[in-house]
Chain A
Amino acid sequence: MRSKFSRRDLFHVSAGLGAAASGWLPAFAADAARNPQRKRSVILLWMSGGPATIDLFDLKPGHANGGPFRQIESAPGLQIGEHLPRLAKHGKSLAVVRSMSTKEGDHGRGTYYLRTGNLPQGAIQFPTIGSLVSKEIGSPSSELPNFVSVSPFRAFSQGAFGPGFLGPNYAPLVVGEGNFGAPQPGQDADRTLRVQDLSRPGNVSPEQAESRYDILKEMDQAFIAEHPNVVAQSHVSAYDRAVRLMQSVGAKAFDLSEEPIKVRDAYGRNLFGQGCLLARRLVERGVPFIEVNLGGWDTHQNNFDAVKNLCGILDPGWGTLMTDLESRGLLESTTIIWMGEFGRTPRINQGKGRDHFPNAWSAVLAGGGIKGGQAYGKTSDDATKVEGEPTSVPSLLATLCKAVGINHEKTNPSNVGRPIRIVDSSAKVIKDIVA
């Protein structure tokens, strides 16, 4: 039973499906910005490995800890690193939180903490922030998934990337798998960021697909009635969402070849840059939460070369994303959060590197609901301490919720039998940066 049919057979059917479906599906491609009912979206730019924020958003020129980079003005009173020139142009939309402080200097624990708002605790399976937010602002009946995760690198902490106790309905659609290191230029991002096996095999007609799916549904209903269970529910839910995605006109979002070459080049021809472009296309179609991963920040050696190189990927991707969202009128309703699991040591080690440093570092909020053009909080001249009140992880995530219009004190039922808040009650919203 060697395969005789061609790739062409596999792919060409999706067009027909879209046309057949267009009669009963709302026009996803309609200008989302004009819709007054439009909900907000969030884009998480996740910097796996722990970025040296001292070289990006809180520079210490003139100090021995400062390193060789200079600052550039991004907005009046807001200076950022010289290797982020495109992003710097959007200073009026950026709020840099310079007072982040945690106790977690381990990749796994830090990743879990920043991405769930909680430290690992026994049996509780805390959901990742994308699942929490998309549950609140997404629509359960949408054809496109409410949470898309672009090239995540999950090895540091598997649990930090899943829906936890919210269950399989809130799991992300994952496209592409990220690496520990930085993405290489010219990687085959088109193929990687596509949803694989989205179309029916060419020899199966739409009617046949429908009728055999009906048989499957009946079988599964009978099974689950006798075997009620979370694993079986997850199976049924995944098939249901997969079929909705297949029927969705919006799934064209994953076809980046629709974009002009100039636009694609501007984002950067690598997995992160094209991931940012995909994020914009998904926001246009109303997807409420998208995360894009950029790895390679674990710069124990040759920090400055590595950070400069990574900025060459980060800056075009993020900068162009800001420009694009703004020109489409989507920046007001799209909140961007940039963070990693911790910062890096102010002291430069013998290998010209910087090591893990959770005590004092920066995260960035931008766009919708955020009062930009400012730095919030302050670190000491040597960058080793937060001066004034430090910002906790729950406070950062609660501020994100506030900007998006979510009550972060709302609770969800959990797997340990007690309700758990979206963000821990210790959180204090940073009012100064919420618009």
Chain B
Amino acid sequence: MIPELLEDLSKAFVASGYDLRFLIQTITRSRAYQLTSRQTHESQANVKTFARMSVKGMTGEQLFDSLAQATGFQDPTPAQQRQFSFGVRGQFLTKFASTEKLTEKQTSILQALTMMNGSFMADATSTDRSQFLAGVIDAPFLNVKGKLEVLYLASISRYPSPEELAKHTSYIDRGGNSGDRDKAIGDLFWALLNSSEFMLNH
């Protein structure tokens, strides 16, 4: 924190008549707030200099809700029970609850295992159990490029780069390692959901 900046900000906040909207707008419009998390120069390596945004972990709740949104998951647990540790979300949260600072969040082996092998992810990336994935695979109006774009947008909210597109298209065309094009599309979705880019706030 820079003391002079804090001082200026306080004065402006007082002058605005303690307008919270003004304060939030000022902070979020600042260059510091809008910095990218991408490192473009070695000098940005030290997090203390605030030369770029720190990559953060997500809380268990944020992660599950992101997964639910990306996979089109609809919780079969009755709404009034969801606040307790019942249901798919509650089960998931028992493994991802954490009190660490999000900027220092560590992933555990058990969390990695749950994300790779757990039943929620197995369902979400299975070509015959995920309605979303089945929809993408069967959509007659989407070519391979279109299908890849949908998966990228659903999970990491961006289009694949030309290199990614070329690599993954060839992976799908040869049916991955199983010779099965549908499964290969499932593989890509699995990798996207397990990726740092999806699981971390950047």
Whether A220 lies near B196 (C-beta < 8 A) is: yes
Q: A1-B131, A210-B177, A239-B194 are in contact. Are A171 and B113 (CB under 8 A)?
A: no
Q: Is A238 on the interface with B (CB-CB < 8 A)?
A: yes
Q: Which residue of B lies closest to A237 (CB)?
A: B107
Q: Is A141 on the interface with B (CB-CB < 8 A)?
A: no
Q: Is B11 on the interface with A (CB-CB < 8 A)?
A: no
Whether B200 lies near A232 (C-beta < 8 A) is: yes
Q: Which residue of B lies closest to A13 (CB)?
A: B117
From the candidates A168, A201, A232, name the one contacting B196 in the complex (CB within 8 A): A232
Complex CA–CA separation, A232 to B196 (angstroms): 6
Q: Is A103 on the interface with B (CB-CB < 8 A)?
A: no
Q: A1-B131, A211-B176 are in contact. Are A226 and B113 (CB under 8 A)?
A: no
Q: A-B pairs with CB below 8 Å: how many?
A: 163
Complex CA–CA separation, A99 to B117 (angstroms): 49
- When distances are taken between beta carbons in the complex, the residues of chain A under 8 Å from B99 are 158
- 4 nearest interchain CB pairs? A211-B177, A201-B122, A242-B112, A238-B107
A211, A216, A229: residue with the most chain B Cβ atoms closer than 10 Å:
A229
Q: Is A162 on the interface with B (CB-CB < 8 A)?
A: yes
Whether B112 lies near A238 (C-beta < 8 A) is: yes
From the candidates A1, A168, A208, name the one contacting B130 in the complex (CB within 8 A): A1
We find that the number of chain B residues with CB closer than 8 angstroms to chain A is 59
Please, what's the 1-or-0 string for B160-202, where 1 marks a CB less than 8 Å from any CB in chain A? 0000000110010000111000010001101110111101101
Tell me the interface secondary structure of chain A in the complex: helix
Interface 9-residue window, one of B17-25, B50-58, B78-86, B138-146: B50-58
Q: Is B154 on the interface with A (CB-CB < 8 A)?
A: no
Complex CA–CA separation, A207 to B117 (angstroms): 15
Q: Which residue of B lies closest to A158 (CB)?
A: B99
Binding site for A on B (CB under 8 A): 37-39, 45, 47, 54-57, 71, 73, 76, 95, 99-100, 102-114, 116-119, 122-124, 126, 129-132, 167-168, 171, 176-178, 183, 187-188, 190-192, 194-197, 199-200, 202
Q: Is A227 on the interface with B (CB-CB < 8 A)?
A: yes
Whether B192 lies near A228 (C-beta < 8 A) is: no
- When distances are taken between beta carbons in the complex, the residues of chain B under 8 Å from A4 are 129
Q: Is A198 on the interface with B (CB-CB < 8 A)?
A: yes
Q: Is A35 on the interface with B (CB-CB < 8 A)?
A: no
Whether B109 lies near A238 (C-beta < 8 A) is: yes
Complex CA–CA separation, A246 to B110 (angstroms): 11
Complex CA–CA separation, A207 to B110 (angstroms): 22
Q: Is A219 on the interface with B (CB-CB < 8 A)?
A: yes
Complex CA–CA separation, A308 to B127 (angstroms): 56
Complex CA–CA separation, A305 to B144 (angstroms): 70
Task: Return B91 CB to nearest CB of chain A, in Å.
Answer: 10
Q: Is A406 on the interface with B (CB-CB < 8 A)?
A: no
From the candidates A1, A2, A197, name the one contacting B117 in the complex (CB within 8 A): A197
Interface residues of A in 223-242 (CB under 8 A from B): 223-224, 226-232, 234-239, 241-242
From the candidates A195, A200, A220, A224, name the one contacting B110 in the complex (CB within 8 A): A195
Interface residues of A in 345-395 (CB under 8 A from B): none
